[in-house]
Amino acid sequence: MPLRLATTQVDFAARFDAFLLTKRETAADVETAVKAILADVEARGDDALIEYSRRFDRIDLGEIGIRVPQAEIDAAQNAVDPETLKALELARDRIQAYHQRQLPKDDRWRDDIGVELGYRWTAVEAAGLYVPGGTAAYPSSVLMNAVPAKVAGVPRLVVTVPAPGGVLNPLVLAAAKLAGVDEVHRVGGAQAIAALAYGTQTIRPVAKIVGPGNAYVACAKRLVFGRVGIDMIAGPSEVLIIADRDGNPDWIAADLLAQAEHDVSAQSILITDDAALADAVEAAVERQLGTLSRAGVAAASWRDFGAIITVRDLEEALPLADRIAAEHLEIATQDAEALAARIRNAGAIFLGHHTPEAIGDYVAGSNHVLPTARSARFSSGLGVLDFMKRTSLLRCDAGALKALGPAAIALGTAEGLDAHARSVAIRLNLDRA
Amino acid sequence: MPLRLATTQVDFAARFDAFLLTKRETAADVETAVKAILADVEARGDDALIEYSRRFDRIDLGEIGIRVPQAEIDAAQNAVDPETLKALELARDRIQAYHQRQLPKDDRWRDDIGVELGYRWTAVEAAGLYVPGGTAAYPSSVLMNAVPAKVAGVPRLVVTVPAPGGVLNPLVLAAAKLAGVDEVHRVGGAQAIAALAYGTQTIRPVAKIVGPGNAYVACAKRLVFGRVGIDMIAGPSEVLIIADRDGNPDWIAADLLAQAEHDVSAQSILITDDAALADAVEAAVERQLGTLSRAGVAAASWRDFGAIITVRDLEEALPLADRIAAEHLEIATQDAEALAARIRNAGAIFLGHHTPEAIGDYVAGSNHVLPTARSARFSSGLGVLDFMKRTSLLRCDAGALKALGPAAIALGTAEGLDAHARSVAIRLNLDRA
């Protein structure tokens, strides 16, 4: 049974607050282990990578090599069935087209007192993409992380992916090739993050690390942050669907379950002004659950974290949606556009009845790496800007400095920073030192 | 004596590597203390703020109030001398004009198969700005953090600033008023960060926290990250000056000292192809040092972390500058623009002989909150985007879903995510569940 809330309940506000604060993950305490791995890889480089891969992945990288040779990547691509490969290519092309529109523009201007101002965007010199091994090795996720980096112009894009028992997912290698990844290394865990941050003999260091991973990987990313840049630490996925009587219960149920099947900690929420729809969706979820290959996962997620909230009218749904700040927000109502325009916090909004979130996961072109756990209140999905940085540019000539200088001297003096003031005054022959 | 390096040294590469890895800060281990404060403020709200302020700042907020009343802010502004106030206003206006050009554009389009795509930028609903107390309470820093938030459209901007012994810097209050800050609270330390993140009876929570602070504040920001967004954790300031024989040794020395006077951990570096200039600058630094009110700080910084690197030609300077990735890069050479165009990593570039970095600190209009400690390799200075987030938008009609759906179904199936595939198939009457 999912949680049922209604804004008509007298204690709704308190119940909703408690719902928002529900923890869906227990943070494993892996910091001590991760710190040791990081230090070891920093000190011993490839030797440490070989040792940890032997221990954790049961492979001998000393023998088969850390870097995956191009021939192996090509062979993997050839092994993928043609329909899936075509779908991956379509996804790659659409992700590329979408993200090209995100490329920022440089700006440079001269103001009315002659100061030249501006800023310029450049790509990071190298980026690393962590790809999880095993069942969570999703080729779509490789495309979503790698394509924006290449659109940004990152000259060197490195994938690390664990190969437990020596096995790599051919779909992952194919996706890496399609996305233009420059190097693939078969190493995972905290040791892969260490290699990307500090560099080893085989893996040169990068400036930015992105991509999802388990508790060890997430902890390692947090610890190397500062030495390199990282993306957000992704939490379990979530969807919020706002629907009115127009909604199709079977379609909505399918969308709730598409989220729930990701992970037992995933969260699916329905907000509706139609109590009959709420009941119909709940029944449809129960019906569809049984037929899923990941039924156990989806059922646990729906039972533990699923919620159906009934509201008096859709007006009431807006502030609730902003507080939930969902990673994915589907609006399946008569006037989806008007509602969407009034939402402040959401990672991505899927409008209307024919836009299941799974379309955005794969082939729409927009990015599926989106802020989870209410972080859409302050952060954005992955995009081209995550692989670029802005440098500001400033140029004064003697005249411009003469015009602006006195104010800078006044503020430097007011802040007690003599040398700041002098560095301006000395150029204006005002320095009395 | 600053460190002297030359690319002609046989072991230059190793020396330069060691120089880059020099730690300038020792991280104080304050995490246990900070965790206790955060938990206490979360549990007891205002009462905890009052207790910590009594203990750490020797003031009774229970008596004088946590929030600074508008009349007190107005009075502070009236107490600022007219020349300084005018300089602050000039700075505010120029920062505003600069950052307005950073406002991102929304985008929305329909592709050739009828899919509607796009994204939209919105401001965070509330932002908190931490302002340090005591001597580091810089009004320029208030403007640099607050103005971009207001340009971004943040409806509620909250300043917290400790008032040790009850004293607030009137310049800080004046700057907050000029920048359009909505609330000022006289509370500092980890307890202020806790209040901004969790909320108390007086201080409602915000979505994003920015601003510099001591080790307790930095640790608290790290710990609340995720619950709220934070800006970069700023390290000690640094400048790199690239100069050729055209450089004026006195001017360059003044600029190096303007950086060094910030903090004993600040760093000033000169790279030049002219050995005579290197010597002249070193001598000029010694001469000017004695006259500074913060001579002790500047001397320690220059002695411990200052460096002069001589290169065979300016061509050699470029890769060194990219590895240093300086917060501030001054290029005082004949052809500064051409060199600047070939630099990838720098927080801000100051071009030509008449652009001392202090101009950028105060009145140029560009932001002085810039990436330190080599993080310009992957991050940008503070700007309007730090107070906004992007929501992606997606809409398919039945026709568009029919065109794109099969590829999504193929990828969902390939990834073993049945419900993903079904959520598309069910809308295309392809579902056989």
Mean pLDDT of B290-300: 94
Report the 10 Å Cβ neighbour count for B22.
Answer: 11
Yes or no: say if B231 and B151 are a contact pair by the CB < 8 Å rule.
no
Residue type at position B34? V
CB pair distance less than 8 Å for B419 and A359: no
Whole-number pLDDT of residue A135: 59
Which residues does B177 contact at the CB level (< 8 Å), separation at least 6? B73, B74, B76, B77
Active-site residue, selected from the candidate residues B328, B330, B357, B368? B328
Yes or no: say if B10 and B313 are a contact pair by the CB < 8 Å rule.
no
Which residues does B146 contact at the CB level (< 8 Å), separation at least 6? B129, B157, B159, B175, B176, B179, B180, B181
Pick the range with the lowest mean pLDDT from A106-110, A234-238, A352-356: A234-238
Among A157, A353, A359, A402, most B C-beta atoms within 10 A, so best to mutate, is A359
Closest C-alpha to A72, from A156, A186, A149: A186
Residue B342 in 3-state DSSP?
coil
Q: Is residue B363's pLDDT more than 60?
A: yes
Contacts of A412 in chain B (CB under 8 A): 358, 361-362
Distance from CA of residue B351 to its chain's centroid?
A: 21
Compute and round to an integer the Cα radius of gyration of chain A.
Answer: 26
Q: Is residue B424's pLDDT more than 70?
A: yes
In this complex, which of A116, A379, A421 lies closest to B389 when CB atoms are compared? Answer: A379
Q: What is the chain B residue with the closest CA to A291?
A: B433
Yes or no: say if B95 and B360 are a contact pair by the CB < 8 Å rule.
no
CB pair distance less than 8 Å for A294 and B87: no
Mean pLDDT of A109-130: 97
Pick the range with the lowest mean pLDDT from A317-326, A351-360, B136-145, B279-288: B136-145
DSSP A368: S
Average pLDDT over chain A, rounded to an integer = 95
Domains and CATH numbers, chain A: 31-230 (3.40.50.1980), 235-378 (3.40.50.1980), 396-428 (1.20.5.1300)
Q: What is the chain A residue with the closest CA to B331?
A: A395
Average pLDDT over chain B, rounded to an integer = 95
Yes or no: say if B22 and B304 are a contact pair by the CB < 8 Å rule.
no
In A39-78, the residues whose Cβ lies within 8 Å of chain B are: none
Q: Is residue A347's pLDDT more than 90?
A: yes
CA dihedral A202, A208, A209, A215 (to 10 degrees): 120
Among B225, B369, B415, most A C-beta atoms within 10 A, so best to mutate, is B415
Which residues does B39 contact at the CB level (< 8 Å), separation at least 6? none
Question: B251 CB near a chain A CB, below 8 Å?
Answer: yes
Mean pLDDT of A368-376: 95
Whole-number pLDDT of residue B432: 53
Count of positions (residues) in chain B: 433
* A226-276 pLDDT, tens digit each: 899 999 878 889 999 999 999 999 999 999 999 999 999 999 999 999 999
* A47-70 pLDDT, tens digit each: 999 999 999 999 999 999 999 999
* A139-193 pLDDT, tens digit each: 999 999 999 999 999 999 999 999 999 999 999 999 999 999 999 999 999 999 9
Residue type at position A176? A
Distance from CA of B182 to the nearest CA of A (A): 19
Distance from CA of A356 to the nearest CA of B (A): 6
Is B328 marked active-site? yes
Q: Is residue B348's pLDDT more than 90?
A: yes
Whole-number pLDDT of residue A23: 85
Residue A347 in 3-state DSSP?
coil
Which residues does A47 contact at the CB level (< 8 Å), separation at least 6? none
Q: Which two tokens stand for residue B286?
A: 């010694």
Q: Is residue B433's pLDDT more than 60?
A: no
DSSP B225: B
Whole-number pLDDT of residue A363: 97
Mean pLDDT of B190-205: 98
Write down the number of H helices and E strands in chain A: 18, 14
Yes or no: say if B106 and B372 are a contact pair by the CB < 8 Å rule.
no
End-to-end CA distance of chain B: 78
Distance from CA of B29 to the nearest CA of A (A): 15
* B73-123 pLDDT, tens digit each: 999 999 999 999 999 999 999 999 999 999 999 999 999 999 999 999 999
Whole-number pLDDT of residue B147: 98
* A195-237 pLDDT, tens digit each: 999 999 999 999 999 999 999 999 999 899 989 999 987 888 9
Distance CA A242, CA A256 (A): 11
Residue A258 in 3-state DSSP?
helix
Which residues does A405 contact at the CB level (< 8 Å), separation at least 6? A424, A425, A427, A428, A430, B359
